[in-house]
């Protein structure tokens, strides 16, 4: 069996720290909050480095590392204690003065989340007579990942052979919204509509309930 992995649209930056600093024009969370937990900060020895200050995110919201998208980073330090996952801290973070400041400053270009979470991966494999092309979806499959999903499914379509089975792997997905349903319908249309062979696999019960409510079991093979 042949298998090729393609990183479709990674969002994490790959430049040096100096390059990131040069491209950053706006204040990061540690500069505003004065937490002292950035590399070289006053409280690093006592409390450690905050992951917002060393997690590369490709200059999202014009920040250095995750300095202007800290609310999307698990385990940040704020309010004198380590925070939990993005979901656990979502309510408090969206009320934070820094979050509101970044949102206002960025305007229409504001990014609530990275465009993808752990870049989507397209896999091509030979399954009997059919070429199977699969996509591992992200944890939160919603409007925020539209660009990444579009690039990924276009990559899948380019890999199409005479007989192709498309597989969307929901193993990591715990949430999807109406935008995600629309993306899937668009993919189905471009893949051949009623003649397409699309399988949704490793679907969790909560996600399956959403799909069933939308009658997707009539349009896709779900398991």
SS (H, E, C) the chain: CCEEEEECCCCCCCCCHHHHHHHCCCCCHHHHHCCCCCCCCCCHHHHCCCHHHCCCCCCHHHCCCCCCCHHHCCCCEECCEECCCCCCCHHHHCCCHHHHHHHHHHHHHCCCCCCCCCCCEEEEEEECCEEEEEEECCCEECHHHHHHHHHHHHHHHHCCCCCEEEEEECCCCCEECHHHHHHHHHHHHHCCHHHCCEEEECCCHHHHHHHHHCCHHHCCEEC
As given in the structure block, the two tokens for residue 181 are 């349903």
Predicted local distance difference test score (pLDDT) of residue 57: 75
Global confidence as pTM? 0.49
As given in the structure block, the two tokens for residue 68 are 């202007």
Which of these, 89, 93, 92, lies nearest to 75 by C-alpha position?
89
Predicted local distance difference test score (pLDDT) of residue 145: 82
Q: How many whole angstroms separate alpha carbon 46 and alpha carbon 170?
A: 40
Q: 80 — phi, psi (to 5°)? A: 80, 10
Predicted local distance difference test score (pLDDT) of residue 9: 32
Domains of the chain, first to last: 17-109 (no CATH), 116-222 (3.30.750.24)
Q: How many whole angstroms separate alpha carbon 134 and alpha carbon 164?
A: 10
As given in the structure block, the two tokens for residue 1 are 């069996």
Predicted local distance difference test score (pLDDT) of residue 87: 59
**Residue ranges of the chain with per-residue pLDDT less than 50:** 1-24, 118-119
| Crossing angle (nearest 10°) for helices 146-158 and 178-190 | 20
Under 8 Å between Cβ of 66 and 72: yes
Predicted local distance difference test score (pLDDT) of residue 122: 56
Q: Could you tell me how many residues make up the chain?
A: 223
Residue whose tokens read 């969307």:
168
Predicted local distance difference test score (pLDDT) of residue 20: 38
């Amino acid at each position: 069996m042949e298998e090729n992995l393609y990183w479709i649209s990674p969002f994490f930056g790959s430049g040096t720290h100096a390059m990131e600093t040069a491209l950053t024009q706006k204040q990061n969370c540690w500069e505003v909050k004065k937490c002292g937990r950035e590399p070289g900060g006053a409280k690093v020895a006592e409390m450690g480095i905050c992951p917002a200050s060393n997690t590369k995110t490709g200059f999202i919201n014009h920040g250095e590392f995750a300095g202007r998208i800290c609310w999307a980073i698990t385990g940040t330090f704020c309010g004198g204690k380590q925070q939990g996952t993005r979901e656990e801290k979502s309510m408090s973070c969206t009320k934070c003065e820094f979050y509101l400041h970044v949102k206002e400053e960025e305007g229409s270009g504001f990014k609530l989340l990275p465009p993808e979470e752990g870049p989507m991966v397209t896999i091509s494999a030979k399954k009997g007579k059919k070429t199977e092309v699969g996509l591992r979806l992200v944890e939160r499959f919603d409007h925020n990942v539209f660009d990444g999903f579009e690039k990924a499914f276009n990559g899948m379509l380019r890999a199409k052979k005479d007989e192709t089975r498309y597989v969307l792997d929901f193993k990591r997905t715990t949430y999807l919204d109406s935008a995600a349903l629309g993306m899937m319908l668009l993919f189905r249309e471009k893949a051949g509509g009623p003649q397409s062979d699309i399988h949704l696999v490793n679907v969790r019960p909560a996600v399956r309930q959403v799909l069933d409510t939308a009658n997707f079991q009539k349009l896709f093979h779900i398991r």
